[in-house]
Amino acid sequence: MEDVLQAIGTIGLILLVIAGLLAGAVASLVTGGRHKAAYLAIGVLGALATPFIVAILGGAVLAAGGLLAILAMAVLGAVVVLVIGKLILD
């Protein structure tokens, strides 16, 4: 877990938030603009939580892959959480 925090850092956290906001904005556009704030919040939550969940499950390779691997995993996690959010919101 410490490895993930060190790999992410402050700039990484900002990039994770931006990735989550982008994923939420795209999801909002795809769904016709409904629930925009909810999609943005869900995207950020998914992007921030995914790297830590993967690290807890033993994804030390994620930290070794650097910030780019962490961002890729965050975007994937945001998309998964957004799909779940869409099922709940609609």
pLDDT in tens, the chain (90 residues): 566 566 667 788 888 899 889 888 888 888 877 788 988 998 898 888 887 787 777 766 555 667 777 778 788 888 888 888 878 876
The tally of domains found in the chain comes to 1
Rounded to whole angstroms, the Cα distance separating 57 from 55 reads 5
Burial class of residue 70 (count of CB atoms within 10 Å of its CB; 0-12, 13-18, 19+): buried
**Residue whose token pair is 């939580």:** 49
- The residue segments making up the domain with residue 45 are 2-89
